[in-house]
């Protein structure tokens, strides 16, 4: 299903809530946006509205910063991750197209091995699984 991605990208949270959820200051969050690590939506009145994906990202950012990575580094990491995710996506589609017995077994094995690797923070720690089931 892909309504899931829609849900996870739906702009819902004001910055105050995000501050609490991530334990980042407003300043930090705005700074990361300034450096294009996140792109939260805006309300009509120009207030930021964050999605679950945004929050996941912020938690990843926090983690990386703790590990000494700087803005540029994080940006690069996100880039390659996204690329990788896209490749995977393509691979999935391809495999699904040639849905022979053989292909099916391959697909299933892959999904079991790296289950949910798309869009889920592959860098351990701090995702939102604790908030939403």
Partner DNA sequence: AACAATATGTCAGAAAACCTGACATGGTTT
Partner DNA sequence: AAACCATGTCAGGTTTTCTGACATATTGTT
CB of 23 vs a copy of itself, minimal distance in Å: 15
Binding mask 46-65 for DNA (x = CB under 7 A): xxx----------------x
Q: Answer with the entry of DNA, a copy of itself, none that 122 interacts with (C-beta below 5 to 8 A by kind).
A: none
Of 104-123, binders to a copy of itself (CB under 8 A) are none
Instruction: Report the SS3 class of residue 50.
Output: strand
Q: Is residue 132 exposed (0-12), middle (13-18) or buried (19+ Cβ within 10 Å)?
A: exposed
Closest to a copy of itself by CB, 16 or 68: 16
Task: Please list, residue by residue across 27-50, b when 16 or more beta carbons sit within 10 angstroms of its beta carbon and e when fewer do.
Answer: ebbeebbeeebbebeeeeeeebbb
Closest to DNA by CB, 3 or 16: 16
Q: State which of residues 44, 93, 101, 115 lies at the interface with DNA (CB under 7 A).
A: 44
Instruction: Report the SS3 class of residue 13.
Output: strand
Interface with a copy of itself, residue 27, by CB under 8 A: no
CB of 105 vs DNA, minimal distance in Å: 45
Instruction: Report the SS3 class of residue 31.
Output: helix
Nearest to 35 by CA among 66, 86, 75, 67: 75
Task: Give the residues lining the site for a copy of itself (CB under 8 A).
Answer: 3-4, 7-8, 10, 12-14, 16-17, 21, 43, 49, 52, 130-133
């Amino acid at each position: 299903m892909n309504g899931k991605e829609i849900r996870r990208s739906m702009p819902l949270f004001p910055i105050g809530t995000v501050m609490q959820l991530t334990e980042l200051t407003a300043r930090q969050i705005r700074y990361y946006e300034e450096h294009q690590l996140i792109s939260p939506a805006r309300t009509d009145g120009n207030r930021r509205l964050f999605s679950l994906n945004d929050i996941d990202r912020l938690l990843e950012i926090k983690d990386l910063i703790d590990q000494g990575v700087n803005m540029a580094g994080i940006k690069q990491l996100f880039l390659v991750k996204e690329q990788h995710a896209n490749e995977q996506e393509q691979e999935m589609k391809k495999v699904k197209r040639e849905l022979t017995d053989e292909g099916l077994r391959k697909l299933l094995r892959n999904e079991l091995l790296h289950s949910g690797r798309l869009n889920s923070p592959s860098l351990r720690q701090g995702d939102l699984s604790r908030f939403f089931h």
